[in-house]
Amino acid sequence: MTVRETGGVGGIVESTTLKLRRDGAGLSTSAGTLTSVCFTANQSVTVPTGVHYDRTQGGSPATLTIALSGRDDNGHAIQATRAIPVAAFSGS
């Protein structure tokens, strides 16, 4: 995932939470938390991410939700959430 700073102030991503939920079932099939990535003003930084998709759930569409929190160099809280649809997978 790429975090792009556009306000002219650096900061730190203190945590990133990933949740993969099967659509319709409301069941969380995978979750993970990553921590601490610094970014500078007017720059982009790559936050390493990865999630396990259980092959036994193949063919089930899902939604990956990424929640990011941190603070800028002035101490202001930063929060963002993005939901990404994951297409059904039925390959071998």
Domain-located, residue 49: yes
Domain-located, residue 91: no
pLDDT above 80 (res 76): yes
Q: What pTM value is reported for the model? A: 0.72
The 10s digit of each residue's pLDDT in 16-64 is: 888 888 776 666 666 666 768 889 999 988 877 777 666 666 667 888 8
Higher per-residue confidence, 74 vs 19: 74
Over range 62-80, report the average pLDDT: 90
Domain-located, residue 69: yes
Domain-located, residue 80: yes
Domain-located, residue 53: yes
Domain-located, residue 11: yes
Domain-located, residue 92: no
Q: Which residues constitute the domain of residue 81?
A: 2-86
Burial 25-40 (b: 16+ CB within 10 A, else e): eeeebbeeebeebebe
β-pair type (62-72, 2-4)? unpaired
How many domains is the chain partitioned into structurally? 1
What's the CATH number where 80 sits?
2.60.40
Q: In the structure, what pLDDT confidence band is assigned to residue 74 with cuts at 50, 70 and 90? A: very high
